[in-house]
Amino acid sequence: MLDGNTSAATVAREAPGTRADASASHVRAATNDLVWKLFRGQRVGPLTLRDFIEAQYDAHELLSRIVLARDVEDRGEQCRNVDDELERRLRAHLKDSQPVAERAAELAREAA
């Protein structure tokens, strides 16, 4: 992770070989891309979705919601809820991270 005073957009702008106008849309697209990759089992830098889930202090509680669901319909709803919560946490975790900055820089170069 980057320090609290450096944003991924700043790093993307300052990365060698990138245009100075790497925008928030590049950072957003980079975040979306990395979240998509993680949810499909790919590694992003040192992170996998499994590692991320195991690091959650309440992973057992999140997953028990699915297991303890009353019926198939409730289980589907709980799966969606857990999926949404994990995605929200993952996006927060990736915010201002080096992998996002690097991907945003790539997107900025491609757009140039």
Mean pLDDT by 10 residues, the chain (112 residues): 44 47 84 97 94 93 89 91 95 94 93 84
User: 47 pairs with which residues across the strands?
Assistant: 44
73 lies in a domain?
A: yes
DSSP assignments along 40-67, one per residue: TT--BTTB-HHHHHHT-TTHHHHHHHHH
What's the pLDDT score for residue 53? 93
25 lies in a domain?
A: yes
**Domain residue limits at 17:** 8-111
What's the pLDDT score for residue 1? 38
Give the count of domains, the chain: 1
2 lies in a domain?
A: no
What's the pLDDT score for residue 24? 87
